[in-house]
């Protein structure tokens, strides 16, 4: 069965099929509709059900420093053997992981870290403004809360150990306040006296229910005439070297152009577009504590555990931890327990009425830079995936850039760093 596209009354309007209804796909749909196009959102689970549901919820504009900082190669083995480390590995998965890991670790050089950070800043540096812009006039606005973002360290020496990353942020225009000892505890007395230093960045924000936020944006898309289809996309239909539709569940949905924004599940479809992206699932964990007796004043990153605590609607979300183990293995118990143990150490006396655990898959390309732009192997198909730790943060800007490109406009940033063609087969 072939479902045909409807180009509408406006001859310049296109019908665009968007594969993936997470924050990137839904953002792309919103901006395309504002450009006058018709959109079809296709997702196998529905809007906001994957990583866009389970992320840390922080609009982390300053999170431009990739994991692959200088010195990681020396630290990683010790981290894997330390039960209090935020890095986990399912050892049976190592043979499959190894080719990607070799490419990933090649970026642990100062010049590469700086190049990656510069590229990420263009996508996430104005995240709060981008989220406000995309949610304006929709029911999703209520979930956006402007706030500080606070990095908490044991002491100044601990903070100084991250000097390279903070210098990168300074070079890219970020500014922060240093709160030492009593100054930090005046700012937020909820934290343990053992935590004696913080870097506080303003002009950030957080989403108090990320899953509901994305669903509300998707509802807006539908209310504006968009279509939402729950299906699994398996292929692209082609006509004269250009996309003519997407194939899902035995049907072909006709479209003029298509966007691939399915997170880590984009890899297989990208291969059909001539893009052999070296991308792994970086398994992320969160624990939600419902009706906690204490919450931080603002979202925080606890540097010793590399995890975040975000006040949300009626709950506190603990998120972070890195585990490599592929897409198919069930969640591990140790990351959940580590998050809870570290949160209790940071917030003395922390108690809650209920708890919910979650594990999801961050799309991690080997160079830590998302793929944004037209695919090299099929005209009319565009990529928007691979945001690693900053999918929620960078989703609206990515969607805006894709909508501009599809509309024939030239973005005001250099898009070469994100080109899917860098992984052309």
pLDDT digits (tens, 9 = 90+) for 99-147: 999 999 999 999 999 999 999 999 999 999 999 999 999 999 999 999 9
pLDDT band at 330 (very low <50, low <70, confident <90, very high): very high
| Mean pLDDT across 76-95 | 87
Residue 1 scores a pLDDT above 70: no
Backbone angles phi, psi at 289, to 5 degrees: -110, 115
pLDDT for the residue 265? 96
Residue 217 scores a pLDDT above 80: yes
| Mean pLDDT across 320-332 | 94
For the chain, the first-to-last Cα distance in angstroms comes to: 32
- Residue 8 backbone class (left: φ over 0; alpha: ψ -120 to 50; beta: rest): left
pLDDT for the residue 290? 98
pLDDT digits (tens, 9 = 90+) for 220-264: 999 999 999 999 999 999 999 999 999 998 899 999 999 999 999
CA distance 309 to 296: 8
Q: What are the CA-CA distances from residue 385 to residues 39, 64, 129, 373 (Å)?
A: 18, 17, 21, 10
pLDDT for the residue 3? 37
| Mean pLDDT across 16-39 | 97
pLDDT for the residue 74? 83
CA distance 176 to 150: 9
pLDDT for the residue 12? 80
pLDDT digits (tens, 9 = 90+) for 254-280: 999 999 999 999 999 999 999 999 999
Mean pLDDT value across the chain: 94
Residues in the chain: 425
What is the assigned CATH class of domain 2-52+212-275+367-423?
alpha beta
Q: What are the CA-CA distances from residue 33 to residues 38, 372, 394, 397 (Å)?
A: 6, 19, 19, 15
Backbone angles phi, psi at 139, to 5 degrees: -75, -10
Nearest to 342 by CA among 325, 321, 311: 321
| Mean pLDDT across 311-334 | 95
Strand 381-385 and strand 257-260: the pairing is parallel
Sign, CA dihedral 270-273-275-276, equals: positive
pLDDT band at 2 (very low <50, low <70, confident <90, very high): very low
Sign, CA dihedral 79-84-90-96, equals: negative
pLDDT digits (tens, 9 = 90+) for 49-60: 999 999 999 999
- Spans of all domains in the chain: 2-52+212-275+367-423, 60-207+279-365
> DSSP labels for 52-67?
HHHS--EE-TTTTS-S
pLDDT for the residue 167? 97
CA distance 357 to 346: 19
Q: Residue 163, class by beta-carbon neighbours within 10 Å (0-12 exposed, 13-18 middle, 19+ buried)? A: exposed
Token code pair at residue 296: 């931080």
pLDDT digits (tens, 9 = 90+) for 345-363: 999 999 999 999 999 999 9
Percentage of the chain exceeding pLDDT 70: 97
pLDDT for the residue 86? 87
pLDDT band at 10 (very low <50, low <70, confident <90, very high): very low
Percentage of the chain exceeding pLDDT 90: 90
**Residue 234 contacts by C-beta under 8 Å, 6 or more apart in sequence?**
247, 248
CA distance 35 to 38: 9
Residue 4 scores a pLDDT above 70: no
pLDDT for the residue 72? 86
Sign, CA dihedral 187-193-196-197, equals: negative
pLDDT digits (tens, 9 = 90+) for 378-416: 999 999 999 999 999 999 999 999 999 999 999 999 999
| Mean pLDDT across 205-211 | 97
Within 10 A of 158 (CB to CB), how many other CB atoms are there?
15
Residue 76 scores a pLDDT above 90: no
SS3 172: coil
Q: What sections of 19-135 are H helices per DSSP?
A: 23-34, 51-54, 72-81, 94-105, 110-124, 127-135
| CATH placement of domain 60-207+279-365 | 3.30.9.10
Q: At what angle do helices 23-34 and 127-135 cross, to 10 degrees?
A: 60
**Residue 121 contacts by C-beta under 8 Å, 6 or more apart in sequence?**
64, 172, 173
Q: Do residues 393 and 59 touch, judged by C-beta distance below 8 A?
A: yes
> DSSP labels for 167-234?
HHHHHTT---EEEETHHHHHH-TTS-TT--EEEEEEEEEEES-HHHHHHHHHHHHHHTT-EEEE--EE
pLDDT for the residue 251? 92
Q: At what angle do helices 127-135 and 210-223 cross, to 10 degrees?
A: 40
């Amino acid at each position: 069965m072939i479902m045909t596209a409807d180009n509408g009354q406006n001859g310049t309007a296109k019908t665009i099929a968007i594969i993936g209804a997470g924050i990137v796909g839904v953002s792309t749909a919103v901006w395309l509709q504002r450009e006058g196009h018709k959109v079809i959102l296709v997702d196998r689970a529905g809007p906001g059900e994957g990583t866009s549901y389970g992320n840390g919820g922080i609009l982390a504009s300053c999170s431009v420093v990739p994991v692959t900082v200088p010195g990681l190669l020396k630290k990683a083995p010790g981290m894997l053997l330390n039960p209090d480390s935020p890095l986990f590995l399912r050892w049976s998965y190592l043979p499959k992981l190894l080719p990607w890991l070799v490419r990933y670790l090649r970026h642990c050089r100062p010049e590469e870290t700086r190049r990656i950070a510069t590229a990420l800043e263009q996508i996430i540096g104005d995240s709060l403004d981008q989220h406000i812009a995309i949610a304006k006039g929709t029911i999703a606005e209520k979930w956006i809360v402007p706030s500080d973002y606070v990095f908490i360290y044991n002491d100044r020496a601990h903070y100084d150990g991250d000097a390279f990353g903070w210098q990168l942020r300074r070079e890219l225009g970020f500014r922060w306040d240093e709160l030492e000892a009593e100054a930090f505890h005046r700012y937020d007395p909820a934290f343990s006296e053992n935590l004696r230093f913080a870097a506080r960045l303003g002009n950030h924000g957080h989403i108090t229910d990320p899953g509901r936020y994305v669903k509300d944006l998707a509802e807006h898309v539908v209310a504006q005439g968009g279509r939402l289809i729950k299906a699994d996309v398996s292929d692209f239909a082609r006509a004269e070297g250009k996309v003519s539709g997407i194939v899902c569940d035995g049907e072909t949905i006709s479209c003029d152009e298509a966007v691939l924004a399915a997170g880590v599940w984009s890899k297989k479809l990208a291969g059909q577009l001539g893009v052999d992206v070296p991308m792994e699932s970086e398994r992320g964990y969160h624990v939600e504590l419902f009706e906690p007796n204490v919450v931080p004043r603002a979202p925080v990153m606890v540097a010793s555990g590399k995890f975040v605590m975000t006040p949300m609607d009626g709950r506190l979300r603990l998120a972070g931890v890195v585990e490599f183990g592929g897409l198919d293995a069930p969640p591990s118990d140790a990351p959940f327990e580590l998050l809870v143990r570290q949160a209790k150490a940071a917030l003395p006396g922390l108690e809650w009425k209920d708890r919910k655990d979650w594990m999801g898959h961050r799309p991690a390309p080997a160079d830590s830079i998302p793929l944004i732009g037209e695919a090299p192997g099929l005209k009319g198909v565009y990529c928007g995936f691979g945001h690693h730790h900053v999918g929620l943060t960078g989703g609206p800007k990515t969607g805006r850039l894709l909508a501009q490109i599809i509309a024939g406009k030239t973005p005001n940033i250099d898009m070469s760093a994100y080109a899917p063609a860098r992984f052309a087969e």
